[in-house]
Structure 1
Amino acid sequence: MTGSVGLGRVLEPKGVLPQAAWRLDADPAIGPDEVRIRVRRLNLDAASYRQLAGKHEGDGAAIRAEVLEIVETRGKMHNPVTGSGGMLIGVVDEVGPDSPLPVKPGDLVATLVSLTLTPLRITDGLAGWDGLSEQVPAGGTAILFGRSIVGVLPDDLPPELALAVYDVCGAPALVDRVVRGYPGTPTVAVLGGAGKSGSLSLAAAKRAGARTHAVVVSEKERDALRGAGLADEIAVADARDPVAVAEAIGTPADVTVVCVDVPGCEHGAILATAPGGTVIFFSMATSFSAAALGAEGLAADVTMLVGNGFVPGHAEFAVGLLRSVPAVRALFEARIAGD
């Protein structure tokens, strides 16, 4: 067990798992149950990139320098402010003899675990990245453990597109599971419905038989989502304004999904959810103390779930949605083109 979860890679503090560690050992030499990946591209999670871009006022060189500093200091990409990281794609370089992961050298793969627990070494100074997008061309090495999750990239999707989908693939799979547990035709509200996890969540909810309602931040996002046909109703509101969110939703939803990458969206989601309903938090900007205390203060009888990014079969489910729902693919491609 010690090797399979990466305890041997923890440098500081000893005794915690890699995700909770301040610093990891990113030495490219692998142990018997580890896999080394030659990194091609990182995908910074939206909350982390937004925080970095805001801190440096959109200065790409400064953003790049801080990402390099984080990885150099911590041996992983673990934003100390947001606590989040992202994921990566690369080519399998070496597989330890005891590794249970279903990969072989030469496979082009995506890591389906967070960069906050992945030993990472950058060797090219991120020279191919201008610092102005979440996707980061990169050279270096990353290490996967026996308990890691990894997926071989599908042949029919560009790597950048597959990476963007895999980054949020836990969201639609969990939404599908929750919605199918409701009788009849439940209502699902998605805050941030025009984003990556938001659009996939809407598609999953609709496929599971729900009526869908999206809240977006701008008329531009509303128009893009309307053209996609993923939401039965779309409203423009600031997800950080609880009253505005509740008014935008109208009749409280059975399931509310938070896919907004800014802090302060907890209370609006709770207020917009019907008694006995479910709130799913998929944003790394979520304050779980604010969610718990806010629900208590509102006397809200709701179940609150943390989207932990893993549901069995989540990668295949998300890619299946992308393949079968052209509107979802179009939204993803437009986002990648914009980056």
Structure 2
Amino acid sequence: MEASFSTLGLHRVIEPIGALPQAAYRLDTRPDLWADEVRLRVERLNLDAASYRQLSVKHGGRGDLVRQEVRDTIAERGKMHNAVTGSGGMLIGVVEEVGPHSPMGLVVGDRVATLVSLTLTPLHITDGLRQWDGRSEQAPASGHAILFGRSAAAVLPADLATPLATAVFDVCGAPALVARAVHQHAGGVPPPKVAVIGASGKSGCLSLAAARRAGAGLLVGVVPDEREAELLRHAGLADEVVAADARDSLALASGVRQAAGGDVDVTAVCVDVAGCEGGAILSTAVGGTVIFFSMATSFTSAALCAEGLAADVTLLIGNGYARGHAEYALDLVRAHRGIQMLFEARLTAPGAGPRRQGT
């Protein structure tokens, strides 16, 4: 297409004009490319955990109704953007065409995972998602998607199965940011203590491994029940495992403090349920850092809770992107059989998705 374009994708916004693609209500999904764009042939959508949980709970676990709502949302908005959670997910696809000025370095035939949210990715589905039963986060799909000049994507690794690599790429921003936060607290004696809430989930187990690599001392993994606790103990990623409801602020903080011998320096919230802000803040020492990765987080509640508790802690929003985050996450998976085991358990569980706390 010869018309002027923006590396931010502003030319794809239909309404409201002037909004960025993520904030827009509807996007232009035409397959013709502007000069810096890339078109993908879609193979699989991966809904983020918070979005899938919300849809499954709303429809009482009926996969056909979940599928219908996702299909209708994409058709209406030209992207997958959950109106309740505000989140979407990512996708797997094959590069069909590359614009002459694309800076992404992709070539036709590359099989890639997008590293930007479906809430800002122009998406057109042609098969009605008929191969998906609506009972898992990963949905086989046919259609096309568009990446802008400032989008990000990673070529799928040859040594990992596609469902596993897809799940890793969906949460790969979490371990990179945890490592950065731990580095900032490292160097003292004793080394920083870290708690990961939702530690047996995808982003949670990666965050534990990243914290250890970054120089953390004691690692506390918080899970919702004893079944998840046994999984995490078997994976060998945490020094202490606590079974607690992350929504019960006092019980969560008490469990973390007992396991850690006091408050921790860094707390990572990796659960796909709402109401976990208070316990994470109460578990964190003065001058510590709380990182919120879940799209179920109320960032307003987190800020006001910290203020109301007179908690002098740094609150970070995990934005899903950090330079080199995809390869870093893959390296952690390759290095830790325990991570692979936990991911495989998620991917093979019947009806996997809304049952768990970890994302």
Work out the CA distance in 2 between the residues paired with 1:264 and 1:64: 27
After superposition, residues 136-175 of structure 1 pair within 5 angstroms as 136-175=139-178
**1:25 matches 2:28:** yes
Query: Shift of residue 180 of structure 1?
Result: 1.3
In the TM superposition, what is the alpha-carbon distance from 1:213 to its structure 2 partner? Answer: 0.3
Q: How does 1:269-284 map to 2 (within 5 A)?
A: 269-284=280-295
Matched, 1:192 2:198: yes
Match for residue 288 of structure 1 among 299, 302, 312: 299
1:79 aligns with 2:82: yes
Moved beyond 4 Å, runs of 4+: none
CA offset at residue 29 of structure 1?
Answer: 1.4
Alpha carbons of structure 1 residues 107 and 280: separation in structure 2 relative to 1, 3 Å: same
- Please, what TM-score do these two structures have when normalized by structure 2? 0.93
Q: AA paired with 2:33? A: I
Which of 191, 194, 202 is residue 208 of structure 2 equivalent to?
202
Q: How does 1:179-258 map to 2 (within 5 A)?
A: 179-182=182-185, 183-184=187-188, 185-210=191-216, 211-250=218-257, 251-258=262-269
Unaligned runs of 5+ in 1: none
Provide the aligned C-alpha RMSD in A. Answer: 0.9
Q: Which residue pairs with 2:99 in the alignment?
A: 96
Alignment correspondent of 2:43: 40
Q: Is residue 316 from structure 1 mapped to residue 322 from structure 2 by the alignment?
A: no
Deviation per CA, 1:12-50, whole angstroms, max 9, x where unpaired?
111010000011111111111100000000100000000
Gaps of 5+ in 2: 353-359
Question: 2:305, 2:80 → 1: CA distance?
Answer: 31
Q: Is the 8 A contact 2:46 2:91 kept in 1?
A: yes
Give the count of matched residue pairs: 339
Q: What is the CA–CA distance in structure 1 between the aligned matches of 2:105 and 2:231, rounded to whole Å?
A: 38
Partner of 1:131: 134
| Amino acid corresponding to residue 336 of structure 2 in structure 1 | V
Give the Cα–Cα distance (whole angstroms) in 2 for the partners of residues 158 and 306 of structure 1.
Answer: 30
Aligned residue for 1:305, secondary structure, equals strand
Aligned residues with identical type, % of pairs: 64
Scaled by the length of structure 1, the TM-score of the pair is 0.99
Q: Distance in 1 between matches of 2:219 and 2:139?
A: 33
Q: Give 1:330 shift.
A: 1.1
Shift of 1:225: 0.2
SS at match of 1:103: coil
Distance 2:345 2:245 in 1: 23
